[in-house]
Amino acid sequence: MPRFFSFISILLLLLTLSCSKQSDPVTLDFNSLVAGGVGLGFVSPSTVPPTATIVATMSSAVNPASATTNNIKLLRSYDTTYVDLTITVSGSTITIVPKTDLGNGIYYELTFTLLLGTDGTSMTYLWRSFTTIGSFGPPGLIAYWNFNGNTYDMQGHYTVSSVTDLNYAISFRKSLGQCAAFNGTSTMVQVSNGDQLVNTKDFSVSFWVRANSLYQVDSTGKPKGQLVLGVGDYKGFEFEIASDYSSCKLVASYALPDGSTISEDLSFAGDGKTGTNGGFPGWTYCADLRTTGGVLALLKDSWAFITCTYSSITRIGTLYIDGVKMKQQDFNKWPAGDPATTITGLKYGGSAPLQENMFAMGFFHSAMSTAYSNTSWGNYLSPYSNHFRGWLDEVRIFNSAIKSSDVLEMYILTMP
């Protein structure tokens, strides 16, 4: 009797195992999932490179028709935008290439929905997340100086060739560490190959600045302007603040279809003038600050977050202060026949010795550039010229026209 029950028990066990094996779902599994060499597991990493390619290796060959942008998505969190992707399949490997730079310090969510294997296996859903390395910077960032005790480009693309009389101070926000301090007479940081910052269809520059009005006088005792930074003065780009702090502007060199260049100003006086009320025809927006202290209240002896952008698609340039749009101009609305209506992007137009192709912080061109050397304000060797006096931090340059939401996000994340 015991042997009989033992035999029956074995048969029942084998039958159960057989049925269980036939009813178990057959799944397509992830053998590995990496972004820029960083594994994406249950713990969300924060060191993914902004140029990362995402590679998924599956347990069996994947049906390419099931691995598309319809069911593989990468969501950028801060503005809830899905990143454009190029997806290819080779056997059991899925390669996902974002069509744009992912930026720095940005949180992403990656999802896979209903992948199919060529052997009939399937994967229903997988969710992973990651954050790109570094402090927040929108896509397109090509150079970044945080001046936290050094002058390194944190993107690793540009090399500082010389530093003159630069000091460091505690930044406006403790978490940012230090900032750069400029003495207003000789301080200069020079960066090699600055022309490459200008040769781009789309462009943005952002930085925190506090212009110090104390002792900023020329040889006659009158207040002098502040040439904060630039590449080859008006033949590249430069940002300057007027001597009385009543205005500021970005001067930039733009490319024309025939390969030549022209220079145009994106200037802001806070007077509310546009093309419809006394301003230039291409001025489509200008904030009116006349009842709140004007531009002076924002820039004189106060920390301000400056951002300037240019989009080649729209031919629109925009200037922001503290995350808020202050001035916008549209080159398409320039007078008929004006070359500016045909601008294709930014382009460096300088030539040595007038303009050296160096990015200067503390002046509007390099120390050895000879343009304006015979003027009272444009000669670097003269302490009475319009050297920048004050503090500078978080300098970023992009080969993209960053969005207004990006500008506001940068301001919020770094504001005092």
Q: How far apart are CA 241 and CA 416, in angstroms?
A: 22
Residue boundaries of the structural domains of the chain: 30-131, 141-414
Residue 13 pLDDT:
46
Residue 7 pLDDT:
52
Residue 1 pLDDT:
44
Q: Which amino acid is at 394?
A: E
For the beta carbon of residue 257, count every other beta carbon within 10 angstroms.
Answer: 9
Residue 191 pLDDT:
98
The residue with tokens 């399949």 is 89
Residue 97's SS3 state is strand
The residue with tokens 């010389």 is 162
Query: Can you read off the two tokens belonging to residue 147?
Result: 């001046």
Q: How far apart are CA 319 and CA 395, in angstroms?
A: 15
Ranges of residues in the chain whose predicted pLDDT is under 50: 1-5, 10, 12-25
Residue 196 is given by DSSP the state: H
Residue 370 pLDDT:
97
179-223 per-position pLDDT tens digit: 999 999 999 999 999 999 999 999 999 999 999 999 889 889 999
| Check whether domain 141-414 has CATH 1.10.540.10, yes or no | no
Of 350, 124, 320, nearest to 237 by C-alpha is 350
Q: How far apart are CA 235 and CA 358, in angstroms?
A: 12
Residue 174 pLDDT:
81
Asked whether 203 and 409 are in contact (CB, 8 A), the reply is no
Give the dihedral sign, CA 171/177/183/189.
Answer: negative
Asked whether 122 and 67 are in contact (CB, 8 A), the reply is no
Residue 20 pLDDT:
43
The residue with tokens 């977050």 is 305
Residue 8 pLDDT:
52
Give the dihedral sign, CA 214/219/223/225.
Answer: negative
| Check whether domain 30-131 has CATH 2.60.40.1220, yes or no | yes
Q: How far apart are CA 149 and CA 99, in angstroms?
A: 34
* H or E stretch covering 178: strand 178-183
Asked whether 271 and 359 are in contact (CB, 8 A), the reply is no
